[in-house]
Every structure is written in C-alpha cells, then in structure tokens.
Structure 1
Amino acid sequence: MAAKANAQDWANLKKYQNENAALNPVELGQKRTVFMGDSITEFWSVLHPEFFTNKPYVNRGISGQTTPQMLVRFRADVITLKPSLVVIMAGVNDIAGNTGPSTLKMMADNIFSMAELAKANQIKVILCSVLPAYDFSWNKGSFPAQKIAILNAMIKNYADANKILYLDYYSAMVDERNGMKAQYSEDGVHPNKAGYEVMAPLAEKAIAEVLSSK
C-alpha cells in the first residue's frame, strides 16, 4: 500500500502542500528566495538552521530526489510561492541512479528546464554546482566524481550563456580525489555543519548579487 501511494505521488507533491498553503504572502519590499533541491538542501535547515532564521528564505529540498521529480513539483514548490529568486541545486541523486538510469544530458536538461520555467515567471535564478563526491554509501562502486565534474561544466556553460549566476560550492569543498573534503562531511556526500558553514557565505554573496541586479 505504501509503495502504491508513493508511486501515485512520485514527485512527493504532498510533502510541502500544507506548508505552501500556510505560507504568508510576500510582504511589500520583501524578496523571497526558494531553495530547490534534494537532501543536501533539505538537511541545511536541520544542521545549520541559523542560515534560514529571520530571512525570507524558503527551503524546498526533498531527500533522495532527482531532477525529473524536482521538475514535476517546480510549479507547486517554487512558482506558486512567488519568490524573487530560486536557488537550484540538483543532480547528485540522478548520478546515483535513484530513479533509474539517466544520462548527463537528461540531468542537465531537467535543470535547464527549471531555470527556464523560473525565468518565464519573472523569477531570478542561481544554478549551483553539484557538490563533490568520490563514492556513494548507498550505491558503492559507482565512482561519481568524473560525472559530477562533467555535469558541473555543463551547468556552468549554460549559466554563462544565459547570464545566470553559477554558484560554485564544488571548488571550495573538493579534495585531491575529487571527493568532498573529510572535514565537511561524515559520509562523503552530505555536508555536516562545517560544510554548510562553507556554503552559507557563498550563497549569501550570490543571493545579494543577483537580487541587487536589474
């Protein structure tokens, strides 16, 4: 029964349904920012909640999600919230095969489609790098490091070509194996508090830059 229910809500549109409905309208002069992503985004509010405190930031990360799932829920979890800006970080779970095989082009196309949906609705966009990972604890032997580097290059090229800010967390967190530096993660994939403390000022700087631009 649970599996059937999950299949019926493949993109997990129910997760934030009540929170979206209860979210206060954007106040005059306020510039809401929505963070769209997977567990790396979702757990940011858990491990480093102060980043979100007293700011017009809305976390819409869902653990385990892939880019097609995010694309399906993008209207409900981003556009309808009427933000000024969306910060998109996605792709690592596609590389891990969480919802089946996927090419790098398929992943990139889904990310670019989210960006284009946002821009069509007058929402500014930040495209984030995928964080470094040498291997996945839940899918060992997949050695994602090279795929992550290629996907990041694809995202950066698209961002540059479309005048979108590319937020490079990767360079600040990568080690000599092209995995994540040990001090920033317990499992080599998800940031710990120290990892989020590296990401936070980079995100704040990017958000300020994009929101101040015309």
Structure 2
Amino acid sequence: MNEYAVTRYRYLNKNAIKGETLFVGSSLMEHFPIDEILMSRRITRVIYNRGISGYTIPELLESMDEQIFNLEPSVIFINIGTNDISHREETAEVFEEDYRKVLTQIKERLPKTKVFMMAYYPVNQKVADTITAWPEAPLAAKLRAERLDKANGIVEKLSKEFGYRYINVNEGLFGEDGQLLEKYTTDGIHMWPCAYELIFDNMKKYIFE
C-alpha cells in the first residue's frame, strides 16, 4: 500500500463534496489531468481523481474507504487491473476474483451509485522496449498486450453480472496495428495529457448523461 497517497486522500476527503463523480484506479487514472481539462473547457463539474500509481486490485481493496467510500460518489469511473495483468504470475481466475471483490463492496455500500468499468488502454511495445522506464517495463508491456483482450472480456462480463456499464473510450489512441500511438505515450505504457484529452472527448457522453 502507498501509505503517503492513501493518507493524503484521507485528508483531502474531509473537505470533498459528497455525491459527485469519481475517477479511481492506478497510474493510468491518477495521471488523468481531469481538473485541467475541465478548467480549460470552462466546464463546471466536480470530478475527483483517486488513482494511485502502481496499484493493483488487492491494494485498492485495502484502501476502498480513502479511494471510494469516503467520497460517497454518485458516479464512478474505474480503471484498475493493468498492473495485475502485467505480472507473470497473475492468472485470469485470480484477476476476476479480485475484481469481483471490489464490485461486491461497491454494490453493498453504494447501491445507488452508477458505475462505469473502463476497457484497458493499449500499449506500444517498441517504445516500452526503447525507453525502459523501469527494468520490468518491456515485460510488463508484453504481458499487458497479450492479456488485454481476455482481461477486457472479464471486465465486461463482470459489468453485466453487477448491472454496471462497460465502456471502451480508446477510439483514436491506437494505429492499425492496435498499438498505442507513439505521439500519445511517454514510455509505451503511460500517456501524455493530449491522450487524455482525446479520452475525455470519448467519455463525455457518459460523464454528462
């Protein structure tokens, strides 16, 4: 668990407005510059970001209060699990079981909350191999690319099981080869703010519905 991030969110949540929209997940959510995007477009909407870099689903399960429940959100956009499928030892069965635990808690404690479960973003293996942002980055990108379709299938299945919405907001992020476009990625896995502007445009219909 990232004690600093969790403690920081615990303090921030004391002044948060209940019943607003929440973004939650790992680094790919934490890096989403939602405040800047909203301000630049003069959109008056409260969206809290409670992503934590490096987080896996079991780690989210340890900090559900700080990342989700203390905010009592009316809408949740969740993108968690890319770090799980990036580990060689992770299995589809464990991945699904862990994700189901997250959704079970949300359903029990926030029964009226609308939940959008996001499809995972593509990666760019060439950039990951070239930059090697951390020693295991090339392998993480490889495993993630190999497992994305199956992981997305599990997420979509769970969304139906719990009565939530599975959404794919990746249109325009990838080329004909299915890989994340180089202009959008910092290291083959993570993305520049311009990528999130595209993602936001794809998400608007869900955010404002």
TM-score of the two chains, using structure 2 as the length reference: 0.80
Q: How many residues align?
A: 192
Find the counterpart in structure 2 of residue 195 from structure 1. Answer: 195
Which SS does the other structure have where 2:83 is aligned? helix
Q: Select which of 59, 63, 68 maps to 1:78.
A: 68
Matches within 5 A, 1:179-190: 179-190=179-190
Distance 1:147 1:35, change over 3 A: same
Q: Is the 8 A contact 1:38 1:61 kept in 2?
A: yes
Identical-pair percentage: 23
Separation of aligned partners in 2, 1:17 and 1:52: 26
Separation of aligned partners in 2, 1:72 and 1:52: 30
For structure 2, the 5+ residue unaligned runs are none
Runs of 4 or more off by more than 4 Å in structure 1? none
TM-score of the two chains, using structure 1 as the length reference: 0.78
**1:51 and 2:19 aligned:** no
Q: CA deviation at 1:205?
A: 1.8
**1:204 and 2:204 aligned:** yes
**1:65 and 2:55 aligned:** yes
Separation of aligned partners in 1, 2:58 and 2:49: 18
Distance 1:118 1:102, change over 3 A: same
Q: CA deviation at 1:111?
A: 2.2
> What RMSD, in angstroms, separates the aligned Cα atoms of the two structures?
2.3
For structure 1, the 5+ residue unaligned runs are 1-10, 210-214
Which SS does the other structure have where 2:84 is aligned? helix
What letter corresponds to residue 103 of structure 1 in structure 2?
T
Q: Is the 8 A contact 1:13 1:73 kept in 2?
A: no
Distance 1:166 1:190, change over 3 A: same
Find the counterpart in structure 2 of residue 5 from structure 1. Answer: none
Q: Select which of 89, 110, 116 maps to 2:104.
A: 116
Encode CA deviations 1:112-147: one digit per residue, 9 max, x unaligned: 322221121223211111111243533224523120
Highest relative contact order (Cα 8 Å, sep 6+), 1 or 2? Answer: 2
What letter corresponds to residue 147 of structure 1 in structure 2?
R
Which SS does the other structure have where 1:58 is aligned? strand
Find the counterpart in structure 1 of residue 27 from structure 2. Answer: 39
Separation of aligned partners in 1, 2:108 and 2:78: 15
Return 172-181 or 110-119, whichever deviates more. Answer: 172-181
Separation of aligned partners in 2, 1:83 and 1:160: 21
Distance 1:51 1:107, change over 3 A: farther
**1:127 and 2:117 aligned:** yes
**1:155 and 2:155 aligned:** yes
Distance 1:160 1:62, change over 3 A: same
What letter corresponds to residue 88 of structure 1 in structure 2?
I
Q: CA deviation at 1:79?
A: 0.7
Separation of aligned partners in 1, 2:101 and 2:95: 10
Q: Is the 8 A contact 1:36 1:86 kept in 2?
A: yes
**1:26 and 2:17 aligned:** yes
